[in-house]
Chain A
Amino acid sequence: MTAAGRPGIGWWLLILPALLLLLVFYIGPILQVLAISVTEPEPGLGNYERIFTSESVQRVIITTLRICLITTVLALLLGYGIAYTITLASPRAKGWWILAVLVPLWISVLVRAFAWVTLLRRQGLVNNTLINAGVITEPLPLVWNEFGIIVGMVHYMVPFAVLPMLASMREIDPRLLAAARGLGASRGQVFRQVFLPLSKPGILAACVLVFIFSLGFYITPAILGGGKTLMVAEWISLQILDLIRWGLGTMMATMLIFAIIATLVVFSRIVDLRRIFGSGA
């Protein structure tokens, strides 16, 4: 490339506003969180010791991991079914299926949590319907517990699972499926021996995306957990807003960041991260 073709300083100036905004108003506050976790209430790693000594800290971590794993598995399973159907659908049907995935994605998370509360609470539509139909006599505990959290979280995460899987399934040459059938494979064999192995990069990307989004998820678990089942994000907010224990809250926030970065680093060895975020928005 000649000197004339080399980008000048002007192009760097274009990046500057975003870079400054991000450094001052994003990275700054985040770094402060990291700093508080080792300085308050006193300098040192005292807050981090609590991971090994405090039963309540351990409980919230284990609850979070359990819910995130269940959510990831369910969201991937449901998402795979939809992504598979979209990939093989006719162009017109494709548009409708994608709409069914994208509309929930962009509807306010609060609206969705509210809808689930309406459906699942004691006098909610599901319990009322079941009681009126004579299936049950006592309302089922469907919400303000772990079950409710998982129902709401899976609902939120399925679109995030579909997008990367769909992107990777689109790269599968449909002729490969035709070739497999022409060579004598049944529908099940085509799926197990050709489609599934070829869609593995998408499954991994969806797995990472859903898991890291679930880890720090606040609103849905807070509303559908009813304060009884605490996940990490709600626990942090409790420490800061109600108990004013900045050290503990920021310690957990730091752990959250590290858990997410660790997940990304581990998976970046087996899956191209661009797959995850290229289609994330």
Chain B
Amino acid sequence: MDGIHPTGPAARGLAWATALYLVLPILIIVPVALTDQRYLSLPQDGISFQHFRTVFASPEWLGSIWQSFIIAVCATVLSVVAGTLCAIGCWRISRRATDLVRVLMLLPLIIPSIVYAIGLYRYFGPLGLLDRFAGVVIAHGVTGIPYVVITVSTALAAFDPRLEQAARGMGASLSQTLRWVILPRIAPGIFSGAIFAFIHSWDELVMVLFIASRDVFTLPRRIWDGINENLDPAMAAVAVLLVLFTTLLLMADRALRRRSEG
């Protein structure tokens, strides 16, 4: 019934204005990153890649990018393993018994990260986890679990529980059922969750501001300092790289989902 009731000009106008408001500011950083000037501005006499060269020649930026990447990978592994197992357990055990667990899993999405960050600041001190790689991985990994639980639960909702019962009925053990029946079916959901958990850690700033200072200095932390101290076009170059990276990850997710949906 498409087109039976098309939108009116007012709604279309509002939607277009909003879409431009959402997308244009993000696109504007591209010409700014390519400016030939030494300060934040649009290119004047032609485009230049000098600011990208600055970023790639800077051990600070490269160090932060590498550190952020390793932290995000480790945190993602933690989130995916814990989150996937939890989602499968909650799915198989009755809904009511696991309601509390589900609510608990949503808390990191609901409670502002500033509250968690100041809590961690005090909590990690005695544990010796402040400004430690492991501390940041734990913080990001734990708060990434909800993304995995949600995507995997969504994938499981479309999965017939009788398949699991049939597998067990044919003599498969729990771990065999998991490996051969359940996991292959929900792999796209796990992958989506992994991408979201990765982006969550990769972009996370608030916790890092409190629990890391010198030894651990992630990319968002360096951008934050850059915005607050020296606004130069190299920042725009970093921003462009980040946008490209995020877009690539999302496109990988889309492509994978489309393939699994056939």
Contacts and interface: CB of A to CB of B under 8 A. Distances in A.
Interface in A175-197: 175, 177-178, 181, 187-188, 190-191
Contact of A85 (B5, B15, B23, B28): B15
Question: Secondary structure at chain B's binding surface: helix, strand, loop or mixed?
Answer: helix
Interface string A215-235: 111110001000000000100
A51 interface: no
A7 B93 CA distance: 6
Given A88-B6, A108-B203, A257 B105 contact: no
B8 interface: yes
Interface residues of A, number: 96
B5 A110 contact: no
A52 interface: no
Contacts of B252: none
Interface stretch (B48-56, B59-67, B137-145): B137-145
Contacts of B247: 103
Given A22-B105, A114-B29, A10 B174 contact: yes
Contact of A97 (B5, B19, B83, B205): B19
A277 B188 CA distance: 20
Interface in A59-105: 77-79, 81-82, 84-86, 88-91, 97, 100-104
A81 B223 contact: no
Contacts of B85: 14-15, 17-18
B52 to A, nearest CB: 15
B15 A82 contact: yes
Interface string B208-244: 0110000000001001100110010001100100110
B111 A30 contact: yes
Contact of A103 (B7, B110, B122, B250): B250
Given A111-B239, A253-B118, A104 B15 contact: no
Most chain A beta carbons < 10 A, residue from B22, B42, B206, B249: B22
B174 A91 contact: no
B165 interface: yes
A249 B3 CA distance: 54
A84 B106 contact: no
Contacts of B227: 110, 113-114, 117, 223
Contacts of B40: 118, 123-124
A186 B90 CA distance: 48
B246 A107 contact: yes
Interface in B54-94: 78, 81-83, 85-86, 88-90, 92-94
Given A15-B90, A28-B123, A190-B5, 14 more contacts: A12-B89, A18-B105, A18-B145, A29-B123, A82-B14, A97-B15, A97-B19, A115-B25, A218-B206, A264-B110, A277-B109, A277-B150, A280-B150, A281-B150
Interface of B: 1-8, 11-12, 14-15, 17-19, 21-23, 25-26, 28-29, 32, 40-42, 78, 81-83, 85-86, 88-90, 92-94, 98, 101, 104-116, 118-123, 138-139, 141-143, 145-147, 149-151, 165, 168-169, 174, 196, 199, 202-203, 205-206, 209-210, 220, 223-224, 227-228, 231, 235-236, 239, 242-243, 246-247, 249-250
In the A-B complex, list the 6 residue pairs whose CB atoms are closest, starting with the nearest. A216-B112, A29-B119, A81-B14, A14-B89, A18-B86, A85-B15
